[in-house]
Structure 1
Amino acid sequence: MKVTKLYAGLLAVALLTASCDNLQNKTEGENATASAETSTPTEATVANPNLTNGTEISNADAPVMTFAEMEHDFGDIKPGSVVKHTFTFKNTGKSPLIISNASATCGCTVPEWPKEPVAPGAEGKIDVQFDSHGKSGQVSKTITIQANTQPSTNQIAIKTNILPDPAANGPLRAQ
């Protein structure tokens, strides 16, 4: 019973985040579910300006994610190194910023983001860890952040140069 209530609560929060204007006058539970099942793409566009058909609708009250830096260069690193960097951002918008997901271009790069809303004027941090095992040479990775901002996705990047592994060449032979 508790699991069902938890699931229903999470579903309501997800629906509220995805279409807050559409759910404003509805109660949680059955009305929210019915609204989600009967909404059309046009209603979704009006209810959430971040989900449009290729064009953004301006919302002056939307949160804005402003990064101190958009890219970090680790420089030269040894093969097999695991390096970390923290990207800081500020919500320069007028409403709370909610990050729904952050993902990288491969499993070697792992982002950690705040799960709680970031208030207007407050700062947040996204930690990015890169594992160079199995990689060599110049490497660039992009982290895509999905949030209730406009645009709904933001990107940050890391890059590095993984030095050659001297052990991979094996012993040298005299000729």
Structure 2
Amino acid sequence: MKNFGKYSVLALSAVLLFSCGNAQKGKEEGTKTATETAAADSLSKAAAQLGKVEFEESAFDFGQVKEGAQVKHTFVLKNSGDAPVIISKVTASCGCTQPEFSKSPILPGGKSEIHVTFNSEGQVGKQQKIITIQSNASNGLTTVQLKGEVLAK
């Protein structure tokens, strides 16, 4: 009986020890869930407060031009989001197409322009040049196209 008492005290201590640990674990998990929920809410609010790039036209068809002609076009974009948009980089699919753009922030509701010049020298036939725009907007990578046909000299 003496050993029974010793073992029952030991068993009771173990039960209390493990149950206290589980209670603390449950509290930590509850706090972690609340923290994760708050972080997720902050991220979704931040995402809702991003700028958004929208172009007035996604493609420009310059029709037919004689080889050697320079085609110039301006793509107009609007920030339809809730935060300023900054264009970080604009590239063209070919060295024959040169984009120019402003690095000034585009405020919500504001507009900006991307000027594109296509040099048709040596580019005979149907053409499709892709201009890729990188920015901090929610749609951070967007494209527009310049297309048409270059006739031989």
TM more than 0.5:
yes
Amino acid across the alignment from 1:99? I
TM-score w.r.t. length of structure 1:
0.60
Who is 2:4 aligned against? Answer: none
Who is 2:131 aligned against? Answer: 143
Give the RMSD, CA atoms, in angstroms: 1.6
- Are residues 1:106 and 2:94 paired? yes
TM-score w.r.t. length of structure 2:
0.69
Of the three residues 129, 149, 153, the one matched with 1:161 is 149
Residue 119 of structure 1 aligns to a residue whose secondary structure is coil
Q: Is the 8 A contact 2:79 2:85 kept in 1?
A: yes
Runs (4+) of structure 1 exceeding 4 A deviation are none
- Are residues 1:89 and 2:77 paired? yes
Q: How far is the alpha carbon of 1:82 from its aligned partner?
A: 0.7
In structure 1, the gaps of 5 or more residues are 1-45, 50-57, 166-175
Residue 59 of structure 1 aligns to a residue whose secondary structure is helix
Identity %: 41
Q: Report the structure number with the largest CA radius of gyration.
A: 2
In structure 2, the gaps of 5 or more residues are 1-39
Structure with the higher helix share, 1 or 2: 2
Structure with the higher strand share, 1 or 2: 2
Q: Return the structure number with greater relative CO, CA threshold 8 A, min gap 6.
A: 2
Number of corresponding residues: 110
- Are residues 1:134 and 2:125 paired? no
Who is 2:12 aligned against? Answer: none
